[in-house]
Structure 1
Amino acid sequence: MLLINLKTLKTAVFGLLIILSVFTFGCGGNQPGQKKRELISFRPYNGINYSEVSRRQRNGLSFNEYGYQLEPQWKLKFVSDDSVSIFSPTKNAFINFPLTRGYDSIFNAARSWLKIRQINKDSITMEILIQKGDSLDVKGTKVFMRFFADNYVKNVLHTDTTTLRKPSRADTLFIHSLAAKATADYTKAFSARQPAEITSKSPLVTVSRRTTKPDILNNFDNSDDYLDPNYDIVIKNAYKDFYFSFTMYIDDKGNLYYGAPLVGFNGDQEREADYIHTSKAVMESYFKFYLNVKPGKTLGIIHSSMVSIHVEGKAKNHTK
């Protein structure tokens, strides 16, 4: 399913890993007779404010075919060789994180493994690494983070980070191509950077969108909620009490198409068929009359996307 692929990608890109030990790398350590590798030192760059200006794949794109955007967000300042301060947009403040150095320019900070590819007082290029079991894949993800010193941006480039962070022309052309495919076939939908909006047009229906609470596990960042928008819908005076969870496609015109149930049936095909039939009927009746739907878009381009729906029906004689 698309959701599984997206979550797998998210895990790989952000590298939200449990810190075990920097010396448990599968090929770590110096072999007998090899020259000792020195730990990287950030001392020459302590106190310099760096802002991430791009985060791209090896092909130069910041988007993939699922609509996931590698968004440059980080601002950081090395405090010492064992501490780094990283800006949290949610808290609107810098947060100090322990910094653990490994061999060959590898370090861990903010629950992420990174490898310095290039560093000087004006810029840094890092590659995101991922952990596999108790080893670190030093081949890298081929996802690169590019930072410029704030002073360099202002006094040498004479611009600002907002301008530098804008998606490239190649990104725009790529999204246009994905949108064309999704328009021709809604099942080729991809995540919208500005998710589809669902609102109620009846006092009998309430709609709310779920949001992830920022915490230490997601580095106080819930900006990737757009990958799987979840909506809770409550319908009063329904024909009976019910509760269904399923995915739903929303095309570029705002039309609704049933996706798949979000519950398991343990091989009970009859129960599954009944669930799909009934929940699809709810979508095609109540949703059509009681909801306003605005399709999602990415880089200003409207396209088909998918949402997850959790709908509760309360019969007229429902006491709660």
Structure 2
Amino acid sequence: MKQVAQNLTFVVIVFCLIAGCKFKDPSIPGHSRKPMLSFKNVEGITYTEVRRQQNGLSFNEYGYHLNSDWKLRFVSNDSIALYSPVKKQFLNFPLSCGIDSVFNTNRSFLRMKHMSKDSLIFELLEAKDDSLDMKGTKVYMLFYADNYIKNVLHTNAATLQRSNRKDSLFVKELIKRADSSLTNAFAALNPVQLISTRSSITVEKKKTVADFLFNNYNTSDDYMNPTYYITINKVHSDFNYSFSAYVDKEGKLFYNTPLIPFGDGGYKQEYVRFSKAIMNTYLKPYVKVKPGQTLGMSHTSSINLYVHGKKS
């Protein structure tokens, strides 16, 4: 319920921000009236996203993959249809317009940089507390009209959305950095796989359920912060430890740091000592580790482990 309240609060703030936008005062030097954004000329046209960064890359230095997963159609000046990959259909969402080509929908603030019947370009904006950062994120979303893709470019969206040579070269550079130091690890688009080789040890990977209210259909946390719940049965005494670890491109496991906070005192050292022992005694010998991969290339990445020992 707390999470629902937080999300509803965010939605309220969004509409307050949009409603609070005012035209610039023409009586002040340097200010001029700017017309409200209108989508009338492109209403009814279905657009599909093909790229989301100005430099043409679909990855950033942390391994985050800017997935081209938006498909939209402007229904009117206050309504937009967005395709839900979960429900496999278009859903209508409110559309709020501000000044300076800014609009909001589906809990996202965007600035229209280009609009035509063939293509659209948006820039993502960030909302911080009760204000909107108008400097922009320099992350751009490029859309082509489905008709333009088929009849002018003579291709399909899947082909346009593929990672390109520039992406491959960029990922190779990230891998070189990660090879030089574990601390340069980056998220793997295909995360680490942990496979138990003993019936007394079970491994479950956390899986994000795509949902509009809670995560805006964004499941990227599954590879940005891969989390595994491991249960070890028939141990000498019950225990619970949580820590992060690195997995290098050979599949070797390296302890990183505990996932719980500590106050003053020596308890942290004891916690690290015991959790390392659990990793070395149970996980390394009895859990097969397949390294994470991005674009088919294995590399060092970080994972979170929650290990529960059960005596009986």
Give the structure 1 partner of residue 171 of structure 2: 175
Distance 1:16 1:227 in 2: 25
Instruction: Kindly state the Cα deviation for residue 35 of structure 1 after the two structures are TM-superposed.
Output: 4.1
Give the structure 1 partner of residue 91 of structure 2: 95
Matched, 1:108 2:107: no
Alignment of 1:111-126 (within 5 A): 111-126=107-122
Q: Which amino acid aligns with 1:242?
A: F
Instruction: Kindly state the Cα deviation for residue 66 of structure 1 after the two structures are TM-superposed.
Output: 1.0
Alignment of 1:1-320 (within 5 A): 18-19=13-14, 20-24=16-20, 28-33=22-27, 34-56=31-53, 58-215=54-211, 216-268=213-265, 270-315=266-311, 318=312
Equivalent position SS for 2:136: coil
**Cα distance per residue 1:71-115 (max 9 Å; x no partner):** 111000001000001111122221111000001211000100000
Equivalent position SS for 1:183: helix
Kept in 1: contact 2:243–2:305 (CA 8 A): yes
Instruction: Kindly state the Cα deviation for residue 213 of structure 1 after the two structures are TM-superposed.
Output: 2.4
Task: Evaluate the alpha carbon distance shift between residue 304 and residue 16 of structure 1 in structure 2; reply closer, same or farther with a 3 A threshold.
Answer: farther
Equivalent position SS for 2:234: strand
Give the structure 1 partner of residue 7 of structure 2: none
Q: Which runs of 5+ in 2 are unaligned?
A: 1-9
Equivalent position SS for 2:268: helix
TM-score, length-normalised on structure 1? 0.89
**Cα distance per residue 1:155-185 (max 9 Å; x no partner):** 1101011110112212111100111221232
Distance 1:265 1:168 in 2: 44
How many residue pairs match? The answer is 298
Instruction: Kindly state the Cα deviation for residue 311 of structure 1 after the two structures are TM-superposed.
Output: 0.4
Amino-acid identity (%): 44
Q: Which amino acid aligns with 1:295?
A: P
TM-score, length-normalised on structure 2? 0.91
Q: Which runs of 5+ in 1 are unaligned?
A: 1-14
Instruction: Kindly state the Cα deviation for residue 48 of structure 1 after the two structures are TM-superposed.
Output: 0.6
Q: Which amino acid aligns with 1:262?
A: L
Distance 1:103 1:161 in 2: 31
Distance 1:193 1:310 in 2: 21
Distance 1:59 1:133 in 2: 29
Task: Evaluate the alpha carbon distance shift between residue 279 and residue 251 of structure 1 in structure 2; reply closer, same or farther with a 3 A threshold.
Answer: same
Distance 2:129 2:199 in 1: 51
Instruction: Kindly state the Cα deviation for residue 134 of structure 1 after the two structures are TM-superposed.
Output: 1.9
Q: Which amino acid aligns with 2:25?
A: Q
RMSD (Å), alpha carbons: 1.7
Task: Evaluate the alpha carbon distance shift between residue 113 and residue 17 of structure 1 in structure 2; reply closer, same or farther with a 3 A threshold.
Answer: farther
Distance 2:12 2:66 in 1: 18
Kept in 2: contact 1:17–1:112 (CA 8 A): no
